[in-house]
Amino acid sequence: MRITIDVDEETLEQAMKLTGETKKGPAITKAASEFVRREMVRKFANMVMEGEFEDYPLTNDQLEDFDR
């Protein structure tokens, strides 16, 4: 999908440097994909720590209390 976005030069340069991409489009795509992946990991970790899965019935606080 093609879109048009406004990104300031400094942010774009940093994205290109951090992703290792030499072209703007792939750098933005890689940065956006990585952001989405990290958010999904963060949300999953929160769900696990809140005890939302049967395989992980204890919250993080309960696990820490259990270890003491």
Q: What is the pLDDT of residue 35?
A: 97
Residue 12 burial by Cβ neighbours in a 10 Å radius (0-12, 13-18, 19+): middle
- Listed by start position, the domains of the chain span 9-67
Q: What is the pLDDT of residue 56?
A: 67
Q: What is the pTM of this model?
A: 0.71
Q: What is the pLDDT of residue 43?
A: 96
Per-residue b or e along 37-67, where b marks 16 or more CB atoms closer than 10 Å to that residue's CB: eeeeeeeeeeeeeeeeeeeeeeeeeeeeeee
Q: What is the mean pLDDT of each run of 10 residues along the chain (68 residues)?
A: 94 97 96 97 88 73 76
